[in-house]
Amino acid sequence: AQKVTQAQTEISVVEKEDVTLDCVYETRDTTYYLFWYKQPPSGELVFLIRRNSFDEQNEISGRYSWNFQKSTSSFNFTITASQVVDSAVYFCALSEARYGGSQGNLIFGKGTKLSVKP
């Protein structure tokens, strides 16, 4: 069975602190995709990153970085020097690649609410 666990329900930090959001996943497939989405208080879902199971390279985009480790089934997200605008709910999600089938289905974690205080 596929499952995504975000153990941190809420995190509160002070501006300029670094913060890491944890994501652990379960899947039997060898080919799969991992995603992070941001949901600001306005409610829309903003895509942040996609990573496929064959690419374990870490990725950095500005203040954001992602650490993908297949050995521990984790795909953690770090925000460096956090800002108030980073306050949002962050979702980790998993999808599996199946030709002609449910390849678009996303399994979401329950989300981590990040509050960045000035």
Q: Is 11 in the site for other proteins (CB under 8 A)?
A: no
Cβ 11 to other proteins, closest distance in Å?
A: 15
- Residue 67: burial class (beta carbons within 10 Å; 0-12, 13-18, 19+): middle
**Binding to other proteins in span 42-61, by CB under 8 A:** 43-45, 47, 50, 52
Q: Closer to other proteins by CB, 82 or 112: give it.
A: 112
Q: Is the Cβ–Cβ distance between 54 and 29 less than 8 Å?
A: no
**Binding to other proteins in span 77-106, by CB under 8 A:** 91, 93, 95, 97-106
Q: Is the Cβ–Cβ distance between 92 and 35 less than 8 Å?
A: yes
Looking at residue 31, the DSSP 8-state letter turns out to be S
Q: Is 64 in the site for other proteins (CB under 8 A)?
A: no
Q: Is the Cβ–Cβ distance between 4 and 105 less than 8 Å?
A: no
- Contact positions vs other proteins (CB under 8 A): 4, 9, 31, 33, 35, 37, 43-45, 47, 50, 52, 91, 93, 95, 97-111
